[in-house]
Amino acid sequence: MITFRLPYPPSVNHYWRKKQGQQKNYISAEGKQYRQEVWLVSKKERLPSMTGRLSISIVIYPPDQRERDGSNLWKCLLDSLVECRVLPGDSNRYLRRESLEWAEQVDKVGHVVVTIKEYESAA
């Protein structure tokens, strides 16, 4: 099991961009910056590359009191963890249990606490 703290992720609405007249999406400058921040944390904390079937839990500490859609943060966070090779992938092949919890605001920057462990079936 590993637990670590990451910066507050951008919304998927800010993470992906699409050029007018083109079909393909690309990662925004904000998204690339977030991926870089996750990569730096993974190297500093010496996070291992997790394998097998996993369970991931994320506690979100928002930067303010606005209403938010947690699923808009989820994709950016998972993509970044896959990109820096902490997770092998973000499909149900690897992530067998996913949980997201909202905590109270503790500062004006916000952050997330991620716990990843081996999946244990409830069945």
The predicted-structure confidence for 83-111, as pLDDT tens digits, reads as follows 999 999 999 999 999 999 999 999 999 99
d(CA 65, CA 48): 34
112, 115, 92: which is closest to 102 by C-alpha?
Answer: 112
pLDDT band of 17, cuts 50, 70, 90: low
Across the beta sheet with 54-61, the strand order is 2-7, 111-118, 54-61, 95-102
d(CA 116, CA 42): 13
d(CA 97, CA 112): 18
Domain ranges of the chain: 2-118
- The residues with which 2 forms a beta bridge, in sequence order, are 116
Mean pLDDT taken over the chain: 90
pLDDT at residue 25, as a whole number: 78
d(CA 106, CA 95): 29
Q: Give the three-class secondary structure for 18.
A: strand
- Compute φ and ψ for 93, nearest 5 degrees: -65, -35
CATH superfamily of 2-118: Holliday junction resolvase RusA (3.30.1330.70)
